[in-house]
Structure 1
């Protein structure tokens, strides 16, 4: 009887081949870039989430504009109110960007070696970004649940010190979610989050195609580092297209993670939004989101491209 057991030398070769495509420099560069952008723009993230969860049914603070939201939060909750949820946001953004760039580049390099194509097409870029996004989401979803809940902790919640909805920071929030909701509480909003993987996939596909076309048009080798203007233009354009195409999932996800609301599941949330708010409900907070994510993405990608280039150059 024949055996299909892989010999030890073959296993070592396979392991070595896989490790050749893994570069920790992408993890370091992505994490650093994500943290820097998040610290600069976190207040807009707080406002975006609060706009997104306002459904006209629940009695939570309503803001008439971005400026009104800034002034109201600062007046009622102080400057710290604008930075609620900043720790999980920094941890989540740093970890997410780091892991995403790490997984994406590893998968992309592996695809290039197996297909023998130096320039992968949009289909391969979409597939690599989707796989990287799914892996990142499964690891980081608990952090995003905590961030959302801390961002949605209003001054009225803080008066209820013994309430399970009163959180005294990231660790306290993690503990109370586990105590009251179990492991499932950490993965609220996971289903729309999985749909949201398409957001990163679209963004990275467009970004990569723009870079590839630019290299080909100017007849440049792909090892060349582009200028800051090119990275800014490509990252902003790709992010704008991705946001417009996939934004509704973020609204649904934020509402499922909100401790003040109670939906049976993502389908129930979508039905109620469509019934009570119409299509506009799926795009609440969009303008605030664009004001936040476009600069954040530009900062992140420029920082990532430059840091990863320097690290990889130093390594070689």
Structure 2
């Protein structure tokens, strides 16, 4: 009896530790899965909405490229790209765009989960919306080390279009360059663009507008996840109050709320995006000497309209892009996390059951 009781206690002790171990492994793996889901979702959103981003970049760059205050509308710009380059023109720069979104999506969603939990546990006063804002800002900042060089390459390729139209635009529109008659050579692809920028401008060229990118993306990323979580909380409270038995699919919720959060955040940070775009596409010219100089010159010459130039295509891009990204993340969470968690629990339980059997004393 004594031996049996001792063995039973050992078995109970072992099982008492299993849930903690399983929970620890699941939580740790959950964070790593968020990096994967975020990368996939970010690339998906960028790939789907790249043509709209091309139009936004070209609209924001017009004043710098032509030196004229007469700006084309969204419809006129779409017609210009289509006539000059066809469908290919809308997808120029998509390779660096997707790679940059892979990095940003991974760090954004991965660090949102880990940072948010850490903030809520170690700094309870910052829990809630502040925790969401800080987590989003940290995640996006870490992704910027890969994202910014990709963004520089992407945007320069977007404004170039095809080689024929780029050379034609340089001659007919007489670009206003101080240091050279041409901003930079034509980029045939992502790797050639990176090598060319590095050769001509070095590290500084690849990270052109880095400060302005951080100045735009930190508040944007923080606002977007804060708006998203706030809208989720508001939706959940409304559901519990008005329709407690109504179930909302996570993917659909991510689609709607992610789109709204992205649209709000995109509009509020449009002036920061205009400054960033101008600094990154100017190349070796000295139209703007830094973030503050760019903001001052744009404000003086173009006013509020100039600061919010491209806001409509920016919002048009971010509403569906954010919607698709959050939808993809929620879909991956719903369909893969549950299966992986169940597999992990079954494996841990199986091992826990097998091991105690050898601990029982053999009875002759």
**Pair in the same fold by TM > 0.5:** yes
Structure 2: unaligned runs, 5 residues or longer: 1-23, 171-181, 342-364
Pairing partner for 2:85 from 51, 61, 77: 77
Structure-to-structure mapping, 1:251-290, within 5 angstroms:
251-259=274-282, 261-262=285-286, 263-290=288-315
What is residue 331 of structure 2 aligned with on the other side?
306
Could you say if the C-alpha distance between residues 79 and 244 of structure 1 is closer, same or farther in structure 2, counting changes exceeding 3 Å? closer
Distance 1:141 1:294 in 2: 22
Could you say if the C-alpha distance between residues 165 and 60 of structure 1 is closer, same or farther in structure 2, counting changes exceeding 3 Å? farther
What is residue 19 of structure 2 aligned with on the other side?
none
Are 2:173 and 1:150 equivalent residues in the alignment? no
Distance 1:120 1:169 in 2: 45
Could you say if the C-alpha distance between residues 158 and 31 of structure 1 is closer, same or farther in structure 2, counting changes exceeding 3 Å? farther
What root-mean-square deviation, in Å, do the aligned CA atoms of Structure 1 and Structure 2 show? Answer: 3.0
Distance 2:78 2:306 in 1: 22
Distance 1:205 1:41 in 2: 23
**206-215 vs 40-49, greater mean Cα deviation:** 206-215
Q: Deviations over 1:288-313 (max 9, x none)?
A: 11112111111111111111232221
What is residue 4 of structure 1 aligned with on the other side?
none
What is residue 208 of structure 1 aligned with on the other side?
229
Whether contact under 8 Å (1:48, 1:289) holds in the other structure is yes
What is residue 191 of structure 2 aligned with on the other side?
171
- Give the drift of 1:81: 1.0
Pairing partner for 1:198 from 219, 224, 229: 219
Distance 1:171 1:304 in 2: 30
Are 2:56 and 1:35 equivalent residues in the alignment? no
Distance 1:246 1:289 in 2: 10
Structure 2 SS opposite 1:23: helix
What stretches of structure 1 move > 6 A for 4+ residues in a row?
60-63
The number of residues matched between the two structures is: 296
Could you say if the C-alpha distance between residues 229 and 239 of structure 1 is closer, same or farther in structure 2, counting changes exceeding 3 Å? same
**174-183 vs 301-310, greater mean Cα deviation:** 301-310
Distance 1:28 1:228 in 2: 17
Structure 1 SS opposite 2:278: helix
Distance 2:279 2:237 in 1: 44
Pairing partner for 1:141 from 148, 154, 167: 148
Q: Deviations over 1:213-238 (max 9, x none)?
A: 333444599xx974444323321221
Q: Deviations over 1:226-251 (max 9, x none)?
A: 44443233212212221222111111
Pairing partner for 2:261 from 230, 238, 243: 238
Structure 2 SS opposite 1:188: coil
What is residue 13 of structure 1 aligned with on the other side?
none
What is residue 128 of structure 1 aligned with on the other side?
135
TM-score by length of 1: 0.83
Structure 1: unaligned runs, 5 residues or longer: 1-15
TM-score by length of 2: 0.73
Distance 1:264 1:22 in 2: 44
Whether contact under 8 Å (1:35, 1:94) holds in the other structure is yes
Could you say if the C-alpha distance between residues 314 and 274 of structure 1 is closer, same or farther in structure 2, counting changes exceeding 3 Å? same
- Give the drift of 1:62: 7.2
